[in-house]
Amino acid sequence: MSKRTLFIAGNWKMNKTATEAAEILTELKVKVVGFDGKINIAICPTFTALDRAVKTVAGTNIEIGSQDISVHESGAYTGEISASMLLDLGVKYVIIGHSERRQYHGETDELVSKKAKVAFDAGLLPIVCIGETLEERETDKMPEVITTQIKGSLAGLTADEIVKTTIAYEPIWAIGTGKTASPAQAQEVHALIRKLLSDAYGVDVAEKVIIQYGGSVKPDNSAELMGQTDIDGALVGGASLEADVFAGLIANAL
């Protein structure tokens, strides 16, 4: 096991009303209280549930994150949410560049890097997502795609910021499909990511970076995935929507 503290975050995507969020978090905080100090836990609900979520987990070992952030601080940007708005609510983390944002909203590596910088400037901690499609994997383009995304998405960040950045490797072909990269496949990509970080920022920096795996992580595969040398946690979708399941996934990962 790595000396890095595991970090497991739940990405609720467009699920759960504010009322439902409060209900599941009320259940979850009781189930994970014993993990305090052993693992870092976060939940990233929809914008409308952020306020209730922060208040529900106040004083517990669960942090709250946003699913996106604007590069703009204020202005005529309908539907956007700024760093100061998130800070005012008590949010700690921000998911940036999730494959669904890249696919459905045209987000580029350049925009991801700008959002990461905005997050840091405000005191928020980014979870930067990368990952290849099934076609890219089957045509042996995975190393090229991951290298391009890492270099582009983290461009302009300092070594101090990189250390505080969580990178989430999510093979797009494994998100919500029930397919999971084998532990060996996931470890291969995580090792590549750490090497790229090492080449750019030095071994000492690279060894401190948390690299999560995302893509159909469940209670029955979390232990084997988290047991890999360079896998330091998970960004969990569907399995984070039920308190029992998510708590079981965390427990098995320890």
CA distances from 135 to 131, 139, 161, 173 (A): 12, 6, 32, 9
In whole angstroms, what is the distance from residue 50 CA to residue 234 CA? Answer: 21
| End-to-end Cα distance, the chain | 10
Residues carrying an active site annotation: 98, 170
Of 188, 187, 185, 178, nearest to 239 by C-alpha is 178
Output the CA torsion sign for 42, 45, 48, 49: negative
Phi and psi (nearest 5°) for 154?
-105, 5
Partners of 221 in the beta sheet? none
